[in-house]
A and B are shown apart, each in its own frame.
Chain A
């Protein structure tokens, strides 16, 4: 296990950094149309903010915000959002993942409808990537035994 040693400087700086890191991750996801960024990058930044909490405090502190069950549910949710947007396009009458058809149900023109579809997909990808990164880190660092440690 990773040994825990308390250090006021590390804990305070990491706690101060975490909200700005998460805000930047959300910005990178949402502003991916106009600047470098997108779902993969923003999801990795969001995941690394949880990893930073797990490093600077300990794993149980990070698990209060992103437990294993939550991470698994979020990973499934992201894939379902991605596939669901494709299924919506299929149900309206276009091909799978052809977002142009969304302009019939959204109050925007065709090009903007495709931009909206891209945004939805980036959100799905971001949620999946964040959850998978956190879940891999929690399992690797604790060797898969993190529930028992909390009980003891």
Chain B
């Protein structure tokens, strides 16, 4: 029981990752593939941020102005910094992916993988 309580967060992140990976492999619609990619990325970021947590600690804003600061009282700021920039880069790369989708739709008039493959085969 103790083992489950200390580890169940990781198992949820792994199952979110599985949902995203399954959508990226199976779904034929490109927008659905993007949704899966977004879920996958979010699960990785969740895993990374959860390595920063400490039980009985508070947010990383230092309150003592004088005296000795105990690092065990504050969360680890480093994963927060790395993931903060990763989220902004994630949304801008998401924008680029959506722009590519619009270009594909302009050329083929569909976003379905099988139909696009059919059109490409028929052209040859």
> Size range of the interface on A?
10 to 19
- Cβ–Cβ < 8 Å partners of B98 in chain A: 140
Whether the pair B88, A139 counts as a contact (CB closer than 8 A) is no
Q: A140-B102, A143-B102 are in contact. Are A40 and B88 (CB under 8 A)?
A: yes
Residues of chain A at the chain B interface (Cβ within 8 Å):
34-36, 38, 40, 44, 129, 132-133, 136, 139-140, 143-144
Most buried by B among A44, A132, A136: A136
- Cβ–Cβ < 8 Å partners of A40 in chain B: 84-85, 88
For B92, give the chain A residue with the smallest CB separation: A132
Whether the pair B95, A136 counts as a contact (CB closer than 8 A) is yes
- Cβ–Cβ < 8 Å partners of A143 in chain B: 102, 106
Given the complex of chains A and B, what is the CA–CA distance between A137 and B77 in angstroms? 31
Q: Chain A at the B interface: mostly helix, strand, loop or mixed? A: helix
Residues of chain B at the chain A interface (Cβ within 8 Å):
59, 61, 84-85, 88, 91-92, 95, 98-99, 102, 106
Interface contacts beyond A40-B85, A144-B102: sample of 10 additional A-B pairs, CB < 8 Å, sorted by A: A35-B61, A44-B88, A129-B88, A133-B91, A136-B92, A136-B95, A139-B99, A140-B98, A143-B102, A143-B106
Given the complex of chains A and B, what is the CA–CA distance between A40 and B92 in angstroms? 12
Given the complex of chains A and B, what is the CA–CA distance between A140 and B99 in angstroms? 6
Given the complex of chains A and B, what is the CA–CA distance between A62 and B53 in angstroms? 41
Q: Which 4 A-B pairs have the closest CB atoms?
A: A136-B95, A40-B88, A140-B98, A143-B102
Q: A40-B84, A40-B85, A140-B102 are in contact. Are A34 and B95 (CB under 8 A)?
A: no
